[in-house]
Structure 1
Amino acid sequence: MTFPGQAAPAFVRLAAHPVRWRLLSELATSDHRVRELVRSLGEPQNLVSYHLRLLRDGGLVTARRSSFDGRDSYYHLDLERCADALAATGAALHPALRLAPPAPAGRPRVVFACTGNSARSPIAEALLRHHTGGHAEVTSGGSHPKEHLHPGAVRALRERYGIDVAGQRPRGLDGLTGRRFDYVITLCDKVREVCPEFPGRPRLAHWSIPDPATEKGGYRAFARAAAEIDTRVRQLLPVLASTTEQEVRP
């Protein structure tokens, strides 16, 4: 319960500023570079950078160097941190305030894309199919597909989530360009620059996730990548669930 004179929670103070709220809204659906946020908000770059720094200092936003161009950084909103902060904010106002999960709706069509379709995108495909119990049409593809899935990706899915994709083979994005999707999600900074257009104006999102095959740590890099992708997939579920049947299939 709140009391007279009690300060507003830190999340409220951070999110209440109009520019920071718009930044949070943009980053809630996709990772972005500073220049993209400047263009979307129509604000000067120094102002956008200032408010991004405050959000980073508050632990809500993180930054990661682009694997396509090391001079760029992708900003990412930590949705789990936001969820915890929102829950704490509600409890600070009144214990009766609780967030209710949305009811499932529709059968969305989702494609995940990366370069080789050997690790990140097939992991995302398998996890979304797993978490939706098959109630989503999910596939994945690569701009330059490898011959086989990486053993580290296969092992991470099997050992951490009980999912067997050993018999799956990488696919090319070119073979998917005639299909209609509701969501196109890129997981690789490089493929984001060359991802083909799909018919039907699908919703686009970017998850800037390093290639575990090029990271140090061997299998641990694949386990880390799978854990991050699993977090993002679980955060995607309410977005898919809140989409009405009419929105999903126009």
Structure 2
Amino acid sequence: MRVLFICVHNSARSQIAEAYLQQFCGDAAEVTSAGLAPTDINPLVVAVMAEEGLDLSAKKTRKVFDLYKDGRLFDYVVTVCEESLEGQCPVFAGVTHRLHLPFPDPAGVVGTDEEKLAKVRAIRDRIKERMVVLADEIKAGKGRRPGDAWEQGGPV
């Protein structure tokens, strides 16, 4: 099973989702992530994922359109950005399942350093919860179909 997570910068939400789904699925899935306009991995995300034993410090971001141009095929394409940006993602040929799971952007958190970390932890935990469900479905061979309802990420 090949899964692609897409968000705007490939710096936070998609990286978190990729790391968790790969951890939960093991060899049952090949998981990658990409962004519309990739930047660097968000340091707050690196910090909160390290708390979970997942090291993203050496991860590189990638551009989703490069994967598209390379003709990569995916069974699942999962967008994790806001509704307004989801439509900008390319449509990959052969996709069996296209899901939209919007989560708040860690780049938008404000407050003291500790408040920001707490907010990014909350986003991380929401993504983790959804990845447990998705991993269970992938391993059981019960993929969602386009249009199936998923609980929304909601604000932090």
Do both share a fold (TM > 0.5)? Answer: yes
Does 2:103 correspond to 1:205? no
Q: 2:42: which partner in 1?
A: 150
**1:136 Cα deviation after fit:** 1.1
Specify every segment of 5 or more residues in structure 1 that has no aligned partner in the other structure, as ranges. 1-107, 245-250
> Is the deviation greater in 125-134 or in 222-231?
125-134
Q: Which amino acid aligns with 1:205?
A: L
Does 2:63 correspond to 1:180? no
Cα deviation, 1:83-114, whole Å, max 9, x if unaligned, reads xxxxxxxxxxxxxxxxxxxxxxxxx1000010
Moved over 4 A (4+): none
Distance 2:44 2:77 in 1: 24
Q: 1:195: which partner in 2?
A: 89
Which structure would you say has the larger RCO, counting Cα contacts within 8 Å and 6 or more residues apart? 2
Specify every segment of 5 or more residues in structure 2 that has no aligned partner in the other structure, as ranges. 143-156
Q: 2:28: which partner in 1?
A: 135
**What root-mean-square deviation, in Å, do the aligned CA atoms of Structure 1 and Structure 2 show?**
1.3
Structure having the larger proportion of residues in helix: 1
| Alignment TM-score, normalising by the size of structure 1 | 0.52
Aligned residues: 135
Aligned pairs for 1:1-250 within 5 A: 108-146=1-39, 148-159=40-51, 161-177=52-68, 178-189=71-82, 190-216=84-110, 217-243=115-141
| Alignment TM-score, normalising by the size of structure 2 | 0.82
Distance 1:126 1:221 in 2: 19
> Is this contact kept in 1: 2:13–2:80, CA < 8 A?
yes
Distance 1:239 1:233 in 2: 10
> Is this contact kept in 1: 2:22–2:29, CA < 8 A?
yes
**1:186 Cα deviation after fit:** 0.4
Q: Give percent identity, aligned residues only.
A: 36
**1:238 Cα deviation after fit:** 2.1
**Structure index of larger Rg:** 1
**1:213 Cα deviation after fit:** 1.4
SS of the aligned residue for 2:28 comes to: coil
